[in-house]
Amino acid sequence: MAYTASDPVSKIMTTDLITISPNQTMEEVERLIEENTINHLPVVDEDYSIIGMISKSDVLRVSYGLSVFHNKYKKVYNKSLFRSLLVSDVMTENVATLTPEKSIGVAIGILKENLFRAIPICEDNKIVGIVTPMDIISKCVAD
């Protein structure tokens, strides 16, 4: 079934989420992204409340920034830094969220205006889903 901009985001959001804690390491972020072929990880606290987002782009940006040594030990050095760098050091805080009943059109507007690549969908500040441009492209038709 194809959805339109007036339908709620709950119709297209991904609900099978993989999340991460702010106290986990960037090494764990990198592993989860690679193993699950995903681009975004919602950062949640112990109550499953959204406190940030971290993305594959963040991993690449940090990895590039850490590549200060351009010799045969670069990979080993960067790996050790990833083991000590926490999610809370890198994550984007104060992310825009939507509730499940908001329209797909509202999500499209937020994605376009802010150039986000994912919007957490929350009820009572607890994450219940995520919407990405790929969800919209694969599940919606133009009005």
- Total Cβ atoms within 10 A of residue 59: 21
CATH superfamily name and code, 9-139: CBS-domain (3.10.580.10)
> In terms of DSSP H, where are the helices of 26-121?
26-36, 56-66, 74-84, 87-90, 104-114
Residue spans of the domains in the chain: they are 9-139
- pLDDT computed for residue 143 by the predictor: 55
Q: Which residues contact 115 (CB under 8 A, 6 or more apart)?
A: none
Q: Which residues contact 102 (CB under 8 A, 6 or more apart)?
A: 8, 9
- pLDDT computed for residue 67 by the predictor: 58
pTM for this prediction = 0.87
Strand partners, 123: 126
Average pLDDT per 10 consecutive residues for the chain, totaling 143 residues: 92 96 96 95 95 92 66 70 90 94 96 88 94 92 64
